[in-house]
């Protein structure tokens, strides 16, 4: 019984810690007791694709793509799933193609008391003089508009072909793309539509995150390289090796 209580407390603490780190420059931190902004942010009824001009102009991945990310000389192959997460995947592939991730730092690595996540993608980390402990609040600024690019929370319910849930967490906690070991997902703040460029690798199955954060890919080769990433390590390069023709930039 004590072991079960301890594991529950660890999971709850992990949710609280995770909720306050992934964000964009404009976002506010989530409450420390919940991964979502408020109870009203959950819904079991799928919503339509966002119709705002910003959402319409976001990149989309129509199909799949392969990204190879190199860290400390080790290639990490990621299959990006635009079939089940087209906006989230399109954003990631577009940023890879723009070389946004090259040179960025993994600012958050959690392996104790149990394997959790490896997180990076804050553009502020490209500056070698930027303090590591202050990373985690930055997002991609589109140079064509000089405005932050944020993407809607995008989660597809399991065994559902259409539609995808946008801008709301999934109350059923049963998404098609789950937080299993090797999954790649977007970090965000309490505001559902605050994801930008920060992403994380999942080090062990984390089902309590399912339905709250958008998984968009999985590591197909090189997970041993992910397991070796330490806080402060940099992405040497990230390249789209297959599927760039599936990227539609809006």
- CA 56, CA 43: separation in Å to the nearest integer? 23
What is the number of structural domains in the chain? Answer: 1
Tens digits of residue pLDDT in 194-206: 999 999 999 999 9
Instruction: Give the lowest-confidence range in 5-14, 67-76, 118-127.
Output: 5-14
Residue 218 has pLDDT above 80, yes or no: yes
- CA 96, CA 160: separation in Å to the nearest integer? 29
Rounded to 10 degrees, what is the CA torsion of 177, 121, 80, 56?
A: 90
Greater confidence (26 vs 230) lies with 230
Tokens of 120: 């990076």
List 74's β-bridge partners, or say none: 71
Tokens of 217: 């890919």
In angstroms, how far is the first alpha carbon of the chain from the final one? 53
CB-based contacts of 17, cutoff 8 Å, min separation 6: 110
Tokens of 181: 């070991």
Query: Please, which pLDDT band fits residue 54 given cuts at 50, 70 and 90?
Result: low
> Contact at 8 Å (CB) between 246 and 65?
yes
Tens digits of residue pLDDT in 122-171: 999 999 999 999 999 999 999 988 999 999 999 999 988 778 999 999 98
- Grouping H, G, I as helix, E, B as strand and the rest as coil, residue 89 is helix
- CA 86, CA 26: separation in Å to the nearest integer? 24
- What domain range includes position 234? 2-248
Q: Residue 186 belongs to a domain with what CATH number?
A: 2.40.100.10
**pLDDT for res 29:** 31
Instruction: Kindly state the percentage of the chain with pLDDT values over 70.
Output: 78
**Residue bearing tokens 């967490």:** 169
DSSP single-letter state for residue 127: S
Where b means 16+ CB within 10 Å and e means fewer, 219-231 reads beebbebbeebeb
């Amino acid at each position: 019984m004590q072991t079960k209580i301890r594991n529950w407390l660890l999971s709850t603490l992990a949710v609280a810690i995770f909720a306050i780190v992934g964000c964009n420059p404009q976002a506010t931190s989530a409450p420390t007791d919940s991964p979502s902004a408020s109870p009203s942010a959950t819904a079991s009824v799928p919503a339509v694709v966002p119709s705002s001009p910003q959402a319409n102009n976001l990149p989309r991945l129509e199909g799949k793509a392969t990204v190879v990310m190199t860290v400390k000389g080790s290639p990490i192959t990621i299959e990006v799933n635009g079939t089940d997460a087209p906006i989230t995947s399109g954003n990631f592939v577009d940023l890879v193609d723009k070389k946004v991730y090259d040179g960025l730092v993994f600012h958050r690595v959690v392996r104790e008391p149990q394997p959790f996540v490896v997180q990076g993608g804050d553009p502020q980390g490209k500056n070698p003089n930027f303090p590591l402990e202050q990373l985690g609040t930055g997002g991609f600024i589109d140079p064509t508009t000089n405005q932050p690019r944020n993407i809607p929370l995008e989660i597809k319910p399991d065994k559902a072909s259409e539609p995808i849930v946008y801008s709301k967490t999934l109350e059923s906690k049963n998404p098609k793309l789950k937080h299993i070991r090797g999954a790649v997902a977007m970090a965000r703040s309490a505001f559902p539509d605050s994801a930008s460029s920060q992403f994380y690798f999942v080090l062990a199955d984390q089902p309590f995150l399912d339905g709250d954060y958008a998984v968009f890919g999985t590591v197909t080769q090189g997970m041993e390289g992910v397991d070796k990433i330490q806080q402060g390590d940099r992405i040497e390069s990230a390249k789209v090796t297959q599927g760039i023709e599936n990227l539609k930039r809006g």
